[in-house]
Amino acid sequence: MDRAAVFNEYLRRKGLKNTKQRMTILEAFQGSKFHYSTEELYLELRKDHPKIGYATVHRTLKLFAECGIAIELNFGDGQSRFEPLNENQHHDHLVCTNCGLIIEFMEPRIENLQGQVAARYDFKIESHRHELYGLCSNCAKQR
Amino acid sequence: MDRAAVFNEYLRRKGLKNTKQRMTILEAFQGSKFHYSTEELYLELRKDHPKIGYATVHRTLKLFAECGIAIELNFGDGQSRFEPLNENQHHDHLVCTNCGLIIEFMEPRIENLQGQVAARYDFKIESHRHELYGLCSNCAKQR
DNA sequence: CGGGATATTGAAAATGACATTCAGAAGCTA
DNA sequence: TAGCTTCTGAATGTCATTTTCAATATCCCG
C-alpha cells in the first residue's frame, strides 16, 4: 500500500474528504527527498499551483503525520520539517533482559540526531546499532 | 569543575559579565531536578526575586546551553525546556571501520528520545548501547 | 580606588511559526 | 442532483521567543 492509498484510506475512515489540493500537496511532498517545512513546501507548490494557501499546506502536512505517511522532525531551527515515511524503515530494538522479548522500534528523530552527531565530528556514518536493554512491561510487573 | 565554575569561565572567555541576576538564575536552575521552561523558571524565580525579567531568564538559559552546563530539550509541547547537564554523562561511540578510531560522543537529546521510545512500549530501560559505524574524517578523505 | 568603555537589564514591542476563523466552494452520500 | 458536511484560502489570532532601547551595572585599567 503506497502513501496515497494509506492517506485515502485514512481520510475515508475519518470522514474527511479527498480534495484536489490534498492530492496535489501529497504529490509534491512525495516527489522530493527534501525535508520540507510548511513554508518551503508552500513556496514550492506556489510555482505550479498559485492558488493553494499556506494554511492548507500546513493542515495537510499535519494530516500526513497523523496518518503515518510522514514524520514531523525538529532540527532546532524553530521550524517543523516533514519527512516522507516508508513502510520498511530501518528499525532498532528494545531487548528484555528477563524474558528475552524483542520489540522493534523506529524513531526517525534518533536517526536524525545521529546524523547531527556525525556531522559534529566530520564522520560519515555507514551503519549503526542501537539497542535498549531493560525490562518489558510484563517482567517489570513481576518484580 | 562545577557548573558555576564552567559558567564563569565561559563568561570571562567571551568577555561577558558576571551579574547578580545570572548567578541567581543559575542557582535556581541547578537546585531543581525539574525540566524548566523559560516561563516556569521565570515564575519560580519571581517569588524571591520579583525584579528579574522574563527576557533575562530566557537569555541566561540560552547561555547555559551555549556553555554546556545545560541542554535544551524539546518535548513537542511547543516550549523549550532546559536540563542541567553533568560532566560525567553517559556517552556513546563513533567507530571508524577503516582505522579503528573511536570517538566518544554525548547527545542528551538521543537519551531523551530513547526514554520516549521506551515509554511508548511501557519498557523500563536499564542500559543501552549505541554505536555509529563509518569513516572518520581522515579515512573518508583517503578514499 | 575611581573613570569610562562595554555589556546587561527589564519593560515593551516585534517577530515568526503555527493555529483558528469564516464565508464561499467543493466533495460525498443517498 | 439535493443537501449536508467538510474544505479552502485570506485574514486574523495566539503564543513562545527575540529584539529594542534607555537606564544601570560590571569590569578593566591606570
What digits encode the pLDDT tens for the residues B53-106?
999 999 999 999 988 788 887 766 678 889 888 765 666 778 777 776 767 788
Amino acid (one-letter) located at B36: Y
Say if CB A40 and CB A82 are below 8 A apart.
Answer: no
Average pLDDT, chain B: 85
Residue contact A140–B133, C-beta within 8 A:
no
Residue entry with cell 527527498 = A33
Domains and CATH numbers, chain B: 3-84 (1.10.10.10), 92-142 (3.30.1490.190)
Q: Is A11 on the interface with B (CB under 8 A)?
A: no
- H or E segment to which residue A70 belongs: strand A70-74
pLDDT score of A63: 93
* pLDDT band at residue A14 under the 50/70/90 scheme: confident
* A45-102 per-position pLDDT tens digit: 998 999 999 999 999 999 998 887 888 877 666 788 898 887 656 667 787 877 767 6
What share of chain B has pLDDT > 90, as a percent? 31
pLDDT score of B78: 79
Give the nearest partner residue to A105 out of B117, B124, B137, using CB atoms. B117
Is the confidence at residue A8, as pLDDT, over 60?
yes
Q: Is A20 on the interface with B (CB under 8 A)?
A: no
Interface A–B counts its CB contacts (< 8 A) at 112
Is the CB of A138 less than 7 A from some atom of nucleic acid strand C? no
What 3-state DSSP class applies to A52? coil
Residue contact B113–A110, C-beta within 8 A:
yes
Taking residue B93's Cβ as centre, other Cβ atoms within 10 Å add up to 13
* B43-66 per-position pLDDT tens digit: 999 999 999 999 999 999 999 998
Instruction: Tell me the mean pLDDT in the region A20-33.
Output: 88
Is the CB of A14 less than 7 A from some atom of nucleic acid strand C? no
* B5-32 per-position pLDDT tens digit: 889 988 998 899 999 999 999 999 997 7
* pLDDT band at residue B130 under the 50/70/90 scheme: confident
Say if CB A99 and CB B108 are below 8 A apart.
Answer: no
| Among candidate residues B59, B47, B66, B68, the one with its CA nearest the CA of residue B21 | B59
Question: How crowded is the C-beta side of B118, counted as CA atoms within 13 Å?
Answer: 22
Q: In what order do the strands lie in the sheet with B92-96?
A: A102-105, A92-96, A124-135, B124-135, B92-96, B102-105
C-alpha A5/C-alpha A140 separation (Å) is 39
What 3-state DSSP class applies to B30? helix
What 3-state DSSP class applies to A98? coil
